[in-house]
Structure 1
Amino acid sequence: MEVRNGMPATALPGVMWQKSSYSNSQGNCVEMARLANGEVAVRNSRFPEGPALVYTKAEVDALIQGMKSGEFDDLVY
Structure 2
Amino acid sequence: MTESPSLLWVKSTYSNNGGSCVEWAPAHAATNSTVPVRDSKSPGEPVLDIPADAFTAFVTGVKDGTLGTR
- Assess same fold via TM > 0.5: yes
Match of 2:36 in 1: 41
> How large is the Cα RMSD of the aligned pairs?
2.0
Query: Which residue of structure 2 aligns with residue 29 of structure 1?
Result: 21
Query: Could you list the runs of 4 or more consecutive aligned residues of structure 1 that deviate by over 4 angstroms after TM superposition?
Result: none
Secondary structure at the counterpart of residue 53 of structure 2: helix
Q: 5+ residue gaps in structure 1?
A: 73-77
- Identify, as 1 or 2, the structure richer in helix: 2
Q: TM-score scaled by structure 2?
A: 0.73
Deviation at 1:13, TM superposition (A): 5.7
Q: Percent identity among equivalent residues?
A: 38
Q: Deviations 1:16-71 (Å, cap 9, x if unpaired)?
A: 11112221332531001132423110000110111110011101110011101113
SS in 1 for 2:25: strand
What TM-score, normalized by structure 1, do the two folds share?
A: 0.67
Aligned length: 64
